Chains A and B, each alone.
Chain A
């Protein structure tokens, strides 16, 4: 599904990703962990197509096509979803308009009929229940004045609406209370299928109790320095990153 080969990325002349290799097969869940500033969000943003990053070498193949050639909106419509670490507020744009536009852009791109307002509202309510979103939130502007946790839930709600093939969750668990964490995990698990994959960036093994990963990678200073099964997360929780750091001096 996704194949990252020897990816080097710089921002403002500073090299941040230094040769990333990652292979995600359909149905797999990969967790990425690593200390602050190691490049996790950078990797997520590059996959989603954020502009300010310069790809100095390497390639990313998504569903047998060169991903890096595509615009962010086309990547989205081809099934890549990024749950942002810091979802941005868009004052003046009602959630409902935003979501309906997003859903219909996806549908158009994939040759489906656009949903009418009625059909959309029905779909929206269904997904709202699933992630336990407060109905008031959809009457407001996108993320405007949402609490930290509400913003994160809103990301998962959007994911549920758009049903991506590859979901990239960038610290979606940060700032969530324990119930919200379960709901978010439930939202992600509900999407799991042999065709859908996920990359879950997190600092805490706790989330991985609910979303059980097939692989755990440790990203350190722009490189994946260790890959193992879900037990690696437990080991990290116990020992912290010092042993990784000393191994990679």
Chain B
């Protein structure tokens, strides 16, 4: 404690110097947010000056911003001064065997069909030699390196590839884009960086890797993906296994940049702790995800399956700058009990002949609220552009809410925007019909919900689609009757 005070004093009163931080033994810095904390974070991470400046600019702008209140969400007050903004990678509880792990968690793992060895990793059981995650990672890295793909932690990218980071950071999501993005830009601890060189098709789904690493995701995560000309990558974030975290507030930023004819597929399965039945606990998830189709004929697609978090505030978007570029948003968002989600997408058409598709499938149960909010904006110069939006809501009872807030702005006459919306309800009659054929209620809901979400689930990488299907069913357990 004393030592920590001393360091803080040094930073706040003395001159900031690189390097001295290596001596720091403490894991966590004190609660609170001010410019000195920002400097300290940057110092601890031994960042070059452009990073510090990026953070400081974000912080200064953030100070003048207000928390957004336009979403259809009831957000309890969050005291940002009560948060500690830097924690060294946590030492997770280590168990000797799965027998020591919460049986409920194991049951969920089994329902999801997660292999035993992976269960151990996810639950924090000491792993034996069968899967050595380090060696798996190394194999990945070697394969990727052969192709010139850079895929590493954000910190490592700042150290090893500062030029790339400097060039692209903030290109999709400017520092002061919104309150939470600005906060993230100021304090983010780590995240991932991915660069696909010209003409390279990334040889693997960047997914398995993530499963192994997903346990370490931080509170303020930053992801930057750059796909250079004629490249392709499919990127998967998250994990179907339930994720808990003692930090209630999560504010991640994901930036994607696609150059000429590049394609990026970004898939998310979000299953953060949603809180208990009465809405106690649970993660507040405020995420900024944006891709810029910078090059001609480039393509960015967002596919998300959102089942977790107490509050979700998230609008993965595409800025279609290059002529003939394509943006896609495919989403299944489930809310149960007291969960609230306000999610959707923004498609900004700037280039000519740009195309975008929005498929949003909301599923509400319990006493939850599930909103779709989407903006389709076609700029005057974006001639011959098209958007198709399909927003469906499925209700499981009369106590939940589904809302749709579409905003459409078309700036020229040669473009076409189509919007379709439906609301339906799972009827007791449908459930009874299934029951009468020997199918229990949970399986019945699973079948109906998966049928409803099929169009989106089909866009997920194969092995994940199967898990996501089961996840939908599990998320809705006990939600009917």
Residues on A facing B (Cβ under 8 Å): 48-52, 71-73, 76-77, 81-82, 84, 87-94, 97-98, 101-102, 105-106, 109, 141-142, 158, 162
Contact = CB atoms under 8 A, between A and B. Distances in A.
Interface of B: 424, 427-430, 432-441, 443, 447-448, 450-452, 454, 481
Contact of B429 (A72, A88, A102, A162): A88
A162 B437 contact: yes
A49 B437 CA distance: 12
Contacts of A82: 436
A90 B430 CA distance: 6
Contacts of A49: 435-436
Contacts of A76: 435-438
Contact of A101 (B429, B439, B454, B481): B439
Contacts, number: 77
A50 B447 contact: no
B432 A101 contact: no
B454 A92 contact: yes
A219 B266 CA distance: 62
A51 B438 contact: no
Contacts of B447: 90, 93, 97-98, 101
Given A93-B447, A94-B451, A141-B451, A88 B436 contact: no
B437 A87 contact: no
Contact of A102 (B432, B438, B441): B438
Contacts of B443: 101, 105
Nearest to B394: A92
A48 B435 CA distance: 9
Contacts of A87: 433
Contacts of B450: 92
B436 A105 contact: no
A93 B438 contact: no
Contact of B433 (A88, A101, A105): A88
Contacts of A109: 438
B452 A73 contact: no
Nearest to A98: B447
Interface centre among A48, A51, A72, A88 (most CB of B within 10 A): A72
B451 A77 contact: no
Contact of B451 (A84, A93, A105, A158): A93
A76 B448 CA distance: 20
Given A81-B436, A141-B451, 9 more contacts: A52-B428, A73-B439, A76-B435, A88-B433, A90-B448, A93-B447, A109-B438, A142-B433, A158-B437
B427 A48 contact: no
B99 to A, nearest CB: 28
Contacts of A91: 424, 451-452
Contacts of B435: 49, 71-73, 76
A126 B51 CA distance: 70
A109 B439 CA distance: 11
Interface centre among B429, B437, B441, B443 (most CB of A within 10 A): B437
24 contacts: A49-B435, A49-B436, A50-B432, A51-B428, A51-B432, A51-B481, A52-B428, A72-B432, A73-B441, A76-B437, A88-B430, A90-B448, A91-B452, A94-B451, A98-B437, A98-B439, A101-B439, A101-B447, A105-B438, A105-B439, A105-B440, A109-B438, A142-B433, A162-B437
B451 A92 contact: yes
B477 to A, nearest CB: 16
B438 A88 contact: no
A101 B451 CA distance: 14
Contacts of B441: 73
B451 A88 contact: no
Contacts of A50: 432
Contacts of A72: 432, 435-436
A23 B77 CA distance: 65
A102 B439 contact: yes
A73 B450 CA distance: 20
Contacts of A92: 448, 450-452, 454
Contacts of B429: 88
A154 to B, nearest CB: 11
Contacts of A52: 428
A42 B454 CA distance: 36
Given A88-B429, A88-B430, A88-B433, A93 B448 contact: yes
Nearest to B441: A73
A46 to B, nearest CB: 12
A48 B436 contact: yes
Nearest to A141: B451
B231 to A, nearest CB: 36
Nearest to B426: A90
A160 to B, nearest CB: 13
Nearest to B435: A72
Contacts of B448: 90, 92-93
A97, A101, A141, A158: most-surrounded residue (chain B CB, <10 A): A101
Nearest to A161: B437
A73 B436 CA distance: 6
Contacts of A101: 439, 443, 447
B395 to A, nearest CB: 14
A101 B442 CA distance: 13
Contacts of B481: 51
Nearest to A90: B430
Given A50-B432, A87-B433, A88-B433, A73 B440 contact: yes
Contacts of B440: 71, 73, 105
Contacts of A98: 434, 437, 439, 447
Contacts of B439: 73, 98, 101-102, 105
A94 B429 CA distance: 17
A88 B437 contact: no
